[in-house]
Amino acid sequence: MLCSRWIADGGLRATMVLLMAFSTLGVAADTTGTPPRASMATLMTRDLESVPGKEVVMLTVTYPGGVASLPHRHDAQVFVYVLEGEVTMQVRGSAAVTLRPGGTFYEAPQDVHVVSENSNKTLPARILVVMIKDKGKAVLRLAE
């Protein structure tokens, strides 16, 4: 029942969009074999009832050691909470910050996320991401 409701609420569509988007962003420090990539798991997608046309997406992103994302943007309000490991984040025009568990980061809809990387070359890092975005829009796109 919960699974069928999740699919009816657009969870499957959101998960597929996120998987396709994040699968294009992984860049590994290690160039042997298939490079590791960031992976994500959608936890929830819900309409923002008080704001027509907006939705909230909650997901986790796991970065293997040494993995970074290509510059991108979300066209959304993005709230990040570090669950484990150490990540370095930077939006264009601001200084880079390195965050540890409990650290937070914010991106405005117009921000370009130029640095998003696991600061540790061997241990994984995991973040919780909450986005408020236009319903039906992609969760991210590569920066121009």
pLDDT recorded at residue 140: 86
Domain ranges of the chain: 2-142
Predicted pLDDT at 89: 97
Model confidence, pTM: 0.76
Specify the fold of 2-142. Answer: Jelly Rolls (2.60.120)
Asked if residue 72 lies in contact with residue 38, where contact means CB atoms within 8 angstroms, the answer is no
Query: Mind listing the pLDDT tens digit for each residue in 38-74?
Result: 998 999 999 999 999 999 999 999 999 999 989 999 9
CB atoms within 10 A of CB 102: 8
Q: Looking at residues 86-98, what average pLDDT do you find? A: 97
Nearest to 89 by CA among 105, 108, 71: 105
Burial class (CB in 10 A: 0-12, 13-18, 19+), 12: middle
